[in-house]
Structure 1
Amino acid sequence: MIIAVANVKGGAGKTTLATNLAIARAIAGRDVLLIDADNQGSSADFTALRTEQLGNAGYAVARLLGREVRSEVSKMRPKFDEIIIDVGGRDSEGLRAALTVADAVLIPVLPSSFDVWSFSSMVGLAREARGINPELRVLAVLNAADAQGSDNREARELLKETEGVEALSCQLGRRKAYRNAAAQGRSVVDMTPKDPKAVEELTALVAAIYGASK
């Protein structure tokens, strides 16, 4: 399965989600390739830190930009159980290429007005991509959500009401655990000490995307 983690707005938490998903799937025994398709190279930098800390990241990583995202991912697909693409936070050639080759795009949305507005632009790109990739699933998840507040409810309602989008019932909270894990070169599922709430959130997200039995 190929998942693109994408949003045209920066700061939505794409790299955090992509790296946490890659590690969770690798721990589950899947052969995982994480593709860094962002000019900033954050996923590749994280993987370098993880390899330095642990000796082995547990998954493969590749840097691909622009049109090569589509051509190279198509070549790599038979070699891996899962491919996760971390795409930069803007409308780019790499983002559009990823949408044409992915089985699903996961759009992280922060519960703020600016992020909600950019969500519609991202959905528009996904709909365009369906002209080439008609089976593309569009998944949306609320990310960095506050424990309480009306913003969460309003953002969730928008996701649910958007045609052609699967609004995931799970959400990820605004937790230090995600930042602390990244600083260790780890995921919330393999960091020490663990945050049970963060582990629960990520486990629910993995189940929503890949299925609880996989």
Structure 2
Amino acid sequence: MIITVGNTKGGVGKTTLAVNIAAARAIQGKDVLLIDADRQETAQTAISIRANNEVMFGIACSTYADGPILRSQLLQQKDKYDDVIIDAGGRDSTALRAALVLTDILLVPYRPGSFDVWALQDISNLISEARSMRDGLKVYSIINVADSNPNSIDNREAASIFSEYPELEFIPSHIVGRKAFSNAAGAGRCVFEIKPQDEKANSELKNLISILFGC
């Protein structure tokens, strides 16, 4: 399974989600490759911290911010792993475009309160381009770093805008802006691996993993 966490807008928590997803799959016994396709290489730094701390269940990590290189390396390596998670930079890039042609699932996170409609239109256009070149691209959208009150105005407004873009299947269960997610990702881990446990964060990640991987 190849999953890309991507958006043409930055600051929506892509890397935090990508690292949490990768680590969650690793502790489920999967061989995981995390590709950092963001020039900031934050995911690479996080996985290096994980390795240096000798955390059980290792995660392979590569950096390919250039589209043609990402494509060639992904084609060479994808069969060696159970899952490939791509953290695509927060802009329209050659890496994001290359990922969309090869990925099984695109996860598009958006942050309420800083919602930019232009970014939805941009990613929608890229999805249409990718689907014109290949079949089977599944796309989910999710509100990330959401308000803890599911009925907050920001959450409701973000959810309502998604209804205008049916090509992005909206996941109604949000990822709340909990410290557990960012603290875990900063150490190259997922919320299942840190203490004290945040059961609400665990439940949100478990639900997302179930939707993405069907397990």
Q: Specify the TM-score bucket, using the shorter chain as the normaliser.
A: over 0.9
> Structure 1, unaligned stretches of length 5 or more?
none
Task: Specify the alignment match of 2:2 in structure 1.
Answer: 2
TM-score using structure 2 length: 0.93
Q: Scaled by the length of structure 1, what TM-score is found?
A: 0.93
**1:14 CA drift (Å):** 0.5
8 Å contact 2:184–2:190 — kept in the other structure? yes
Query: Greater shift after overlay, 112-121 or 123-132?
Result: 112-121
Check if 1:168 corresponds to 2:171. yes
Match of 1:121 in 2: 122
Q: What SS class does the counterpart of residue 39 from structure 1 fall into?
A: coil
Superposed, 1:73-152 pairs within 5 Å as: 73-148=74-149, 149-152=152-155
SS of equivalent residue, structure 1 residue 36: strand
Alignment partner, residue 30 of structure 1? 30
Aligned amino acid, residue 154 of structure 1:
E
Shift of 1:161: 3.7
Deviation at 1:157, TM superposition (A): 2.3
Q: Distance in 2 between matches of 1:30 and 1:37?
A: 21
1:55 offset after TM fit, Å? Answer: 5.0
Ranges in structure 2 where 5+ consecutive residues have no aligned partner: none
Q: Distance in 2 between matches of 1:18 and 1:3?
A: 9
Corresponding residue for 2:72?
Answer: 71
RMSD across aligned C-alpha pairs, in angstroms? 1.5
Give me the whole-angstrom Cα distance separating, in 1, the residues matched to 2:161 and 2:115: 13
Between 1 and 2, higher relative CO (CA 8 Å, sep ≥ 6) is seen in 2
Matched, 1:157 2:165: no
SS at match of 1:22: helix
Tell me which residue corresponds to 1:203.
206
Residues of 1 paired with 2:117 and 2:48: CA distance? 33
* Secondary structure in structure 2 of the residue aligned to 1:131: helix
The one-letter amino acid of 1:186's match is R
Secondary structure of 2:163 counterpart: helix
Work out whether residues 3 and 103 of structure 1, in 8 Å CA contact, stay in contact via their aligned partners in 2: yes
Matched to 2:69, the amino acid is E
| 3-state SS of paired residue (1:78) | helix
Q: How far apart are the structure 2 equivalents of 1:40 and 1:64?
A: 11
Runs of 4+ in 1 over 6 A off after TM superposition: none
Specify the SS of the correspondent of 1:201.
helix
Aligned position for 2:185: 182
Conserved 8 A contact 1:11-1:89: yes
